[in-house]
Amino acid sequence: MNTDAKKTALRMIPYGLYILTADDGKGNVSAATVNWVTQTAFAPPLVAVAVKTDAHGYGIIKSSGHFALNMLGKDHKGLAFTFFKPTEVKDGKLSGSPYHKGTTGAPLLDDAPAAVECRVTKIVEEGDHHVIVGEVVEAHLNKPPTGRPDTAILELKDLGDNVFYGG
């Protein structure tokens, strides 16, 4: 295989940016910026997110059985970079961001324009990231987008000319 062609072809896939959160109810809370996300079904509404197996959040999602995807807005570049780093839970904030618990227990960032809470239905344990499939069981719209919703989300390409996660 031509690995340069593989890298470029896979980097053609466009990505939004999300803060993936989880709370196991035992004091372990995680929040991390992710981009490998897609819807996978309408009925029931399913999404898939690929998570690095050695990520702090991976075990928390697995044990809690729930997660939230917090959509980032175009003005949330700082949040995206903050949650590339390990999460600090302090003063009731996640790395400085106020949040509250959703109905599933998953943390919802107050600043996120929208979020979905999901119940894990399947984990595909293949590769260095596993595919976590979740059913959307709750949804929140804090700041309804004007115009197409997919033009309101922060995208990977918005982070800089040389920022990629894929390929």
The residues binding its own copies (CB under 8 A) are 1-6, 8-16, 36-48, 50, 71, 113-116, 121-122, 124, 126-131, 133, 136-141, 144-145, 148-153, 155-157, 161, 166-167
Residue 93 CA to chain centroid, in angstroms? 18
Q: Which is nearer to its own copies, 52 or 56 (CB)?
A: 52
- Residue matched to tokens 């372990």: 28
Q: How far is the CB of 48 from its own copies (least distance, A)?
A: 6
Q: Which is nearer to its own copies, 11 or 28 (CB)?
A: 11
Q: Which is nearer to its own copies, 7 or 88 (CB)?
A: 7
Nearest to 36 by CA among 124, 105, 104: 124
* Amino acid type, 47: V
Q: Which is nearer to its own copies, 56 or 119 (CB)?
A: 119
Residue 155 CB partners (closer than 8 Å, separation 6+): 14, 15, 16, 17
Peptide bond into 107 cis (omega under 30): no
Integer Cα distance of 68 and 17 in angstroms: 13
Q: How far is the CB of 31 from its own copies (least distance, A)?
A: 17
Q: How far is the CB of 90 from its own copies (least distance, A)?
A: 28
